[in-house]
């Protein structure tokens, strides 16, 4: 009961912050559309802009990028930059970690994901520099709505309060469940080395990257909260979150005519994520840093 109450209290402490962040994100998404930015998204700054927007903690921009890519409006490297930079709900969970371990990891994680997004984005766009792009129709307008939700036909109260509230409650539930599980592990397994559960610093990225591919916000919450509880290494978390493009892959996979292309993109993101995780864990271990 003590573990249950502690987990519940920790979750209640962070819930108001989660709600405020999601309300702010809804306002940001409402103002973001493709119609007014397509020239930038097709130009030389596209991977940079894709990486920066991908960092924003939600999956709306990965969904928008997938739609744009499927219509031929952005390059492959730009899409990969968005996907690799996306962390879905992870940054919110880390920022609101009551133990502060997560908050301390936010800046290194953002820097790492920005670097990965930029390197992958510009490299792939250079390799595929002859890739042809389509031009949007004047009336075409694609918004970056969280998890693919559409805003049309909904009241402002529902869009800017009710939906963020429901989403915040769902994320808080995930946080509570993971916190509760680790609470019982710590309570009944004294001196347990949790990282050994998934194989250590050079095997973990293989598993966490696969978890990150799961198209649900629960995967990013589990990865980030598990790191906050000391269950996985920093590089392993980063690997999983580099793979965590939210519903972006789901949007691509709807186009069954290009299944080979979509599977190759998934494999590419997975391979990059695993390499990032293994390299990060290795460097941190060699440097004697607490991973």
pLDDT, tens digit only, all 291 positions of the chain: 777 877 777 777 767 776 776 676 676 656 555 555 556 777 888 999 889 988 887 767 788 888 888 888 889 999 999 999 988 778 888 888 767 778 899 999 999 999 999 999 999 999 998 888 877 665 455 555 555 455 555 677 776 778 778 877 887 787 788 777 766 665 655 444 444 455 688 999 999 999 888 877 778 888 988 898 888 899 999 999 999 887 788 888 888 888 999 999 999 999 999 999 999 999 999 988 865
The reply to whether 277 falls in a domain is: yes
| Contact indicator for 151, 145 with CB cutoff of 8 Å | yes
Tell me which residue has tokens 């799961």: 214
- Residue-level pLDDT at 196: 47
Residue 49, domain member (yes or no): yes
Closest alpha carbon to 80 in 210, 237, 241, 242: 242
- Domain annotation covers residue 291: no
Query: Does 174 map to a domain?
Result: yes
Packing angle of the helix pair 46-55, 76-85 (nearest 10 deg):
20
Tokens 């440097």, residue located: 287
Q: Is 205 within the bounds of a domain?
A: yes
Q: What is the pTM of this model?
A: 0.77
Of 189, 280, 241, 238, the C-alpha closest to 62 is 241
- The residue among 25, 18, 63, 60 whose CA lies nearest residue 225 is 18
Indicate if the alpha-carbon torsion angle 135, 243, 235, 170 is positive or negative. Answer: positive
User: Of 147, 226, 232, nearest to 196 (Cα)?
Assistant: 232
- Structure confidence at residue 190 (pLDDT): 47
Domain count, the chain: 1
In a domain, 137, yes or no: yes
DSSP state of 140: -
Distance in angstroms (rounded) separating the CA atoms of residues 194 and 282: 18
**Rounded distance between C-alpha atoms, residue 267 and residue 141, angstroms:** 30
Among residues 25, 243, 232, 268, the alpha carbon closest in space to that of 123 is found at: 268
11 in a structural domain? yes
> Could you tell me the residue range of the domain that residue 63 belongs to?
2-286
Q: Is 36 part of a structural domain of the chain?
A: yes
Taking the C-alpha atoms of residue 238 and residue 281, their distance in angstroms, rounded to an integer, is 10
């Amino acid at each position: 009961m003590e573990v249950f109450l502690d987990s519940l209290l920790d979750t209640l402490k962070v819930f108001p912050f989660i709600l405020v962040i999601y309300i702010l994100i809804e306002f940001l998404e409402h103002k973001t559309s493709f119609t007014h930015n397509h020239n930038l998204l097709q130009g030389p700054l596209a991977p940079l802009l894709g990486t920066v927007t991908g960092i924003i903690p939600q999956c709306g921009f990965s969904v928008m990028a997938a739609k744009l890519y499927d219509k031929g409006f952005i390059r492959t490297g730009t899409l990969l930059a968005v996907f690799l930079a996306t962390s879905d709900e992870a940054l919110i969970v880390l920022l609101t970690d009551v133990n502060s371990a997560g908050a301390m990891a936010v800046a290194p994680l953002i820097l790492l994901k920005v670097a990965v997004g930029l390197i992958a984005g510009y490299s792939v766009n250079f390799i595929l520099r002859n890739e042809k792009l389509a031009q949007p129709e004047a009336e075409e307008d694609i918004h970056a709505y969280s998890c693919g939700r559409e805003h049309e036909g909904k009241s402002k109260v529902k869009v800017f309060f009710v939906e963020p509230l429901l989403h915040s409650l769902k994320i808080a539930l995930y946080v509570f469940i993971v916190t509760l599980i680790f609470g019982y592990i710590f309570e009944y397994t004294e001196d347990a080395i949790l990282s050994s559960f998934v194989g250590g610093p050079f095997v973990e990225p293989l598993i966490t990257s696969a978890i990150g591919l799961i198209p649900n916000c629960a995967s990013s919450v589990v990865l980030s909260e598990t790191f906050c509880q000391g269950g996985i290494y920093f590089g392993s978390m980063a690997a999983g979150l580099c793979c965590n493009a939210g519903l972006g892959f789901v949007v691509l996979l709807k186009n069954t005519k290009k299944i080979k292309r979509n599977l190759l993109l998934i494999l590419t993101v997975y391979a990059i994520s695993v390499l990032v995780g293994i390299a990060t864990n290795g460097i941190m271990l060699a440097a004697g840093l607490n991973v």
